[in-house]
Amino acid sequence: MLTISLLLVLAITLYQRASLKVTSLAILAVLLIWGFVYSVPYIHWIISAIILIPLNVPALRRPISANILGVFKGIMPKISDTEQEALDAGTIWWEQEVFAGKPNWKRFHNIPKATLTAEEEAFLAGPAEELCSMINEWQITSIDRDLPPEVWQFIKDKGFFSFIIPKEYGGLGFSAYAQSQVLIKINSLSPTAGSVVSVPNSLGPAELLMHYGTEEQKKYYLPRLADGKEVPCFALTAVEAGSDAGGIPDSGVVCKGQWNGEEVIGIKLNWNKRYITLAPVATLLGLAFKMYDPDGLLGDKKELGITCALIPTDTDGVEIGRRHYPLSTPFQNGPTQGEDVFVPLDYIIGGQAMAGQGWRMLVDCLSAGRAISLPSGATGGAKMVAYTTGAYARIRKQFKVPVGYMEGVMEALARIAGKTYMIDAVRTFTAAGIDTGEKPSVASAIVKMHTTKLAQDCAIDGMDVHGGKAVMMGPKNYLGRAYQGAPISITVEGANILTRSLIIYGQGSIRCHPYVLKLIEASQNENKTQAIKDFDKALFAHIGFAMSNKVRTFWLGLTASLFVRKPQSDFTGRYYQRITRFSSALAFLSDVIMGVLGGELKRRESISGRLGDMLSNLFIASSILKHFDDKGRPAHDQDVVKWSMEHCLYETQMAADGVLRNFPIGWMGKLLRLVVFPLGLPLSPPSDKLGRKVAKQLQQPEAMREELTHGIYKSESQYSNLFKVDKALRLQLEMEPVVAKFSAALGKKPLNHEVVSFAKEALDEGLIHDDEFKLVVEAEEARLDIINVDDFSKEEMSDTFNS
């Protein structure tokens, strides 16, 4: 009985993550009380003393820690400088809470909601709308293969290149959320224009200048970038260095040369870059290269490392102008070369002092842009797919019913709606985080990878639902280009496979874990005494943390997390409980797997990818709850929130299942399953019934559909199809009661092509009014305008596609 009481107290303190001192005192209290009431056998006192005294007296346990430190150093690969810089970059935010096993929901609800200032609202309603009204995406993508000059000029004049530039330097100084809203609007209509606007506002000359530029560089370049006098690009990727950007072969050798008629110390640059967005039209080339000082003109160091410089493209020897053609999304993108281009040292961003600091600068500035540009493009694309596909499914009839009423199509519609909600939630949540000053490196990788993947899923489902309508290219096709262009976002700013396999969990497990980084840092400390002291502290805290996660994971699994305190009392309460449960499972599995694989985990991408999926889905699931809460918990969002949450949590469960099934040591995987899933796999994907409800709502021009697609370009304009699709849907719904009325009166139901002729018959027989007849004609015209596709003469085909 005493043993059971002791184990119970230990389990409770571990579950509550009590400190070692509190746990020891609780055990001592049990022994004393028990001794007072009954008697405690000596063996219990002895065992307790043997365990508790060394644990509580660091000087006694340090010899053990010193031995473990030796083993640890042997199995941990040395972290290179570039890896260390990447690991140190940015901040750690909510992702740490979901990684570490016990999310603090109070902190979560205190994260401020994303908002817009009046000025930002006015920009969205003014220049952003106006820009969209000028865009003819078919003309751009298929005929001109560029934005028209007046659109370029409008973009520059209205400050679309200056969202991130502070007002003091002539920029708009917008919040991350405002930038995101503008990019959503543009991308819902034109991924080409969206890319053009995104690039100067992402990682590139302006961002780097703001953080690292000299005052002189900032004063000269930022106002010129803000008003579009300079068109920037940033060239990192080289032919042989894509994902492995640290391996660029491009060089800058310090030497003496002539500059403005004088001999100065400068850099002779050679580069061969590709895939560089805006390079063909750039006036200012941000260049990353490796800097060498073989003659020691700057000091002792011969290899200074990656360096970033700004090179005006009219400098002798700079080659730009040729273009790549990225998947029929013809934003300006191309290669650039330079041979023996000599520039002075003050072309380095931040001047000579920043020579060799380029990698740190890049990884440190990556997060904000990565969390905004591509996720906003993905959000604009997914919302557009949801808006058009919901409408199309309702107005397109086959077998005498809207295709959107067929269960197979409803499955696709539910996925589109649910995934669009997920994308919108996670990009809004992360933008709000950035606006509070965070530079969340792991979260930005999660958001980039998952929003682009989910948007691609939506595009594929949207294409399926539209059938031939979306396959036939032409001015009437609003989906084809978004579908074609989806792989672009998948590839850039960290290709998705690499981001999933290496970055999210690789960086997440080190940065988000409360002790791993401390252990690594201690093990690399040259001061042996301090190393042992720090290592010992982190090691024993880590052991307590791991034991706590084991107890929590088992208990939360056994009780289906039903006893976890719910921060909300409605249907979302259960989801909070489940996030807490899987967060604990992630923390527990992470510790075990890191213990088993050590540094080898870096190469076991199938395992780390799945653990990354757990982390990502928990992060996205939290963001859905936050989004719903920030919106005021509207009733019309409930079904889509349920669908998205159930999808995310199911994916989390299956990722954990995948880790256990493929555990490197088979028997251990089976034992771990007893801890993580003591009652088997509890969750199912969203039910068909729920999916059908969501699918129906996507086809109704009511609150859920309207809010899900909020922020895209819905206005009436010459070239946009989005207004027309929605109008066709509204007219269709308005017309249907009229058709039902005259069908009943005539005693026959029209086929799709017979609606107008039957209506005419009904009008002639006085069964409907003139207004009702006009409505039928208008609705049918609108429907046919949408379901019809383009065709071209032989000449048009060759003119269009060979221009």
Ligand X SMILES: Cc1cc2nc3c(=O)[nH]c(=O)nc-3n(C[C@H](O)[C@H](O)[C@H](O)COP(=O)(O)OP(=O)(O)OC[C@H]3O[C@@H](n4cnc5c(N)ncnc54)[C@H](O)[C@@H]3O)c2cc1C
For the annotated catalytic residues, the residue numbers are 493
Sign (positive or negative) of CA dihedral 561, 566, 567, 573: positive
What tokens does 686 get?
């969203």
Measured at the alpha carbon of residue 685, what is the angle toward residues 682 and 689, in degrees to the nearest 5?
Answer: 120
306 binds ligand X (CB under 6 A): no
Sole binder of ligand X in the list 54, 170, 242, 317 (CB under 6 A): 242
Sole binder of ligand X in the list 345, 479, 492, 519 (CB under 6 A): 492
Bridge-based pairing of strands 251-259 and 284-292 is parallel
Q: How many residues form the binding site for ligand X (CB under 6 A)?
A: 21
In this complex, which beta carbon is closest to ligand X, that of residue 604 or of residue 633?
Answer: 604
**Interface stretch with ligand X, choices 273-281, 466-474, 595-603, 679-687 (CB under 6 A):** 273-281
Sole binder of ligand X in the list 108, 234, 421, 555 (CB under 6 A): 234
In this complex, which beta carbon is closest to ligand X, that of residue 89 or of residue 645?
Answer: 89
Q: Which of residues 577-596 bind ligand X (CB under 6 A)?
A: none
203 binds ligand X (CB under 6 A): no
**Interface stretch with ligand X, choices 4-12, 33-41, 230-238, 694-702 (CB under 6 A):** 230-238
Q: How far apart are CA 641 and CA 627, in angstroms?
A: 9
Task: Give me the least distance between CB of 448 and ligand X, in Å please.
Answer: 11
Task: Give me the least distance between CB of 279 and ligand X, in Å please.
Answer: 7
In this complex, which beta carbon is closest to ligand X, that of residue 358 or of residue 691?
Answer: 358
Task: Give me the least distance between CB of 604 and ligand X, in Å please.
Answer: 11
**Interface stretch with ligand X, choices 271-279, 449-457, 619-627, 706-714 (CB under 6 A):** 271-279
Helix, strand, or coil (residue 341) = strand
Measured at the alpha carbon of residue 356, what is the angle toward residues 506 and 447, in degrees to the nearest 5?
Answer: 30
271 binds ligand X (CB under 6 A): no
Sole binder of ligand X in the list 281, 298, 495, 560 (CB under 6 A): 495
Sole binder of ligand X in the list 213, 326, 390, 462 (CB under 6 A): 326
> What is the 3 state secondary structure string of 63-101?
HHHHHHHHHHHHHCCCCCHHHHHHHHCCECCHHHHHHCC
Task: Give me the least distance between CB of 276 and ligand X, in Å please.
Answer: 5
Task: Give me the least distance between CB of 370 and ligand X, in Å please.
Answer: 11
Q: What's the Cα-to-Cα distance from 237 to each of 233, 286, 287, 421, rounded to whole Å?
A: 12, 12, 10, 33
Q: What's the Cα-to-Cα distance from 149 to each of 145, 640, 724, 803, rounded to whole Å?
A: 12, 42, 27, 17
Sole binder of ligand X in the list 276, 443, 579, 767 (CB under 6 A): 276
Q: Which of residues 462-491 bind ligand X (CB under 6 A)?
A: 488, 491
Sole binder of ligand X in the list 96, 277, 307, 580 (CB under 6 A): 277
Measured at the alpha carbon of residue 415, what is the angle toward residues 413 and 421, in degrees to the nearest 5?
Answer: 105
Task: Give me the least distance between CB of 233 and ligand X, in Å please.
Answer: 6
For tokens 């003109």, what's the residue?
A: 297
In this complex, which beta carbon is closest to ligand X, that of residue 615 or of residue 640?
Answer: 615
User: How many CA atoms are closer than 13 Å to the CA of 380, on its beta-carbon side?
Assistant: 32
Sign (positive or negative) of CA dihedral 576, 581, 582, 583: positive
Task: Give me the least distance between CB of 243 and ligand X, in Å please.
Answer: 3
**Interface stretch with ligand X, choices 354-362, 366-374, 493-501, 750-758 (CB under 6 A):** 493-501
Task: Give me the least distance between CB of 357 and ligand X, in Å please.
Answer: 18
94 binds ligand X (CB under 6 A): no
In this complex, which beta carbon is closest to ligand X, that of residue 367 or of residue 501?
Answer: 501
134 binds ligand X (CB under 6 A): no
Q: Which of residues 327-346 bind ligand X (CB under 6 A)?
A: 333
243 binds ligand X (CB under 6 A): yes
What tokens does 351 get?
């001047």
For tokens 């191309």, what's the residue?
A: 334
Sole binder of ligand X in the list 264, 460, 497, 756 (CB under 6 A): 497
Q: How far apart are CA 384 and CA 721, in angstroms?
A: 10
- Go through 702-736 and write b for each residue having 16 or more CB atoms within 10 A of its CB, e for each that does not: eebbebbbebbbbeebebbbbebbbbbbebbeebe
Q: Which of residues 598-637 bind ligand X (CB under 6 A)?
A: 605
Q: How far apart are CA 359 and CA 468, in angstroms?
A: 47
In this complex, which beta carbon is closest to ligand X, that of residue 328 or of residue 559?
Answer: 328
275 binds ligand X (CB under 6 A): yes
For residues 356 and 301, the answer to whether their CB atoms sit within 8 Å is yes
What tokens does 57 get?
């007296």
In this complex, which beta carbon is closest to ligand X, that of residue 287 or of residue 589?
Answer: 287
For residues 431 and 180, the answer to whether their CB atoms sit within 8 Å is yes
For residues 550 and 558, the answer to whether their CB atoms sit within 8 Å is no
Task: Give me the least distance between CB of 495 and ligand X, in Å please.
Answer: 3
Helix (H) or strand (E) holding 702: none
In this complex, which beta carbon is closest to ligand X, that of residue 605 or of residue 657?
Answer: 605
Q: How far apart are CA 520 and CA 514, in angstroms?
A: 12
In this complex, which beta carbon is closest to ligand X, that of residue 197 or of residue 502?
Answer: 502
Task: Give me the least distance between CB of 95 and ligand X, in Å please.
Answer: 20
378 binds ligand X (CB under 6 A): no
Q: How far apart are CA 331 and CA 300, in angstroms?
A: 44
The CB-nearest residue to ligand X is 242
- Which is nearest to 130 in space by CA: 98, 155, 105, 112? 155
194 binds ligand X (CB under 6 A): no
Sole binder of ligand X in the list 24, 501, 652, 720 (CB under 6 A): 501
For residues 187 and 481, the answer to whether their CB atoms sit within 8 Å is no
Task: Give me the least distance between CB of 274 and ligand X, in Å please.
Answer: 8
For 399, residues 6+ apart whose C-beta sits below 8 A from its C-beta are none
Residues interacting with ligand X, by CB under 6 A? 233-237, 242-243, 275-277, 326, 333, 488, 491-492, 495, 497-498, 501-502, 605
